[in-house]
Structure 1
Amino acid sequence: MTIPRNVLWFEVLLYLSLLIDTLSAAFIERPSTEIDETAAVSADMFVVVVLMFFLLLVWLAARHRKSWARWILVAALGLSALSLLDSLSSGLRLASVVDLFSTVLAGAGIYLSFTDDAKDWFNSV
């Protein structure tokens, strides 16, 4: 079974977006005086769990034709875009530009999952 071209691009763009999000989360500055070590570890673990969840959703959508996983990714993209709008309203910083690039990649990937040969991929199940 060959994966259609648009589904493959969907998968690649979403994985790239998640990689960028992971790298930006790894280099986020945390004020050391405001949170203790336990809170920082808990926050990092939460980021890892959310990342693994999104990796699973992309894998289920692209490799196992689960349309519901694709719709969850659409909802997450919408929430991400709303968060990005709030972030951009406080000014353009490097973190905002990285988030914008990641969101554009995810949006392009999700768009491709609803077009051309990807429609048949998800409808044939």
Structure 2
Amino acid sequence: MFNAFLALLRRALRPTAQTRAILRDERSEGNLRYLGATYSSDGNLVIEGQDLGDAVEAAFGYREYEWTWTIARTDLPKLAAALDTSADLMAALESRFEGPAAAGLAAFLQEHRIPYESWSRIGD
């Protein structure tokens, strides 16, 4: 009985996998850059980005650029293998692509032939 209680306690105390990752959240005078990942209700991985401000205007002529990449849940094992993880996909994304490294995520997905649907919008 005591061993069963210990096993139950160990399972309860085991850390759970992250359900969200913030890869970039930069704010400076006149600019904001954000890139985050979460799971949709049907288990797909959704990566959302938004850039606002002077830097966007200099590049595109508008002050806002936003985008979404969606990786189907059936392709998540391929992403996990590319990230060399079998456990927490969100933690692996943060570890590899947090901060300035976030700029390399699209190239990584293409290099490893991980399919994703994309949507983007430029404009105010």
Looking at both structures, which has the greater relative contact order when contacts are Cα pairs under 8 Å and sequence separation is at least 6? 1
Q: Identify whether the pair has TM-score above 0.5, normalized to the shorter chain.
A: no
Structure 2 length-normalised TM: 0.27
Structure 1 length-normalised TM: 0.27
Q: Bigger radius of gyration, 1 or 2? A: 2
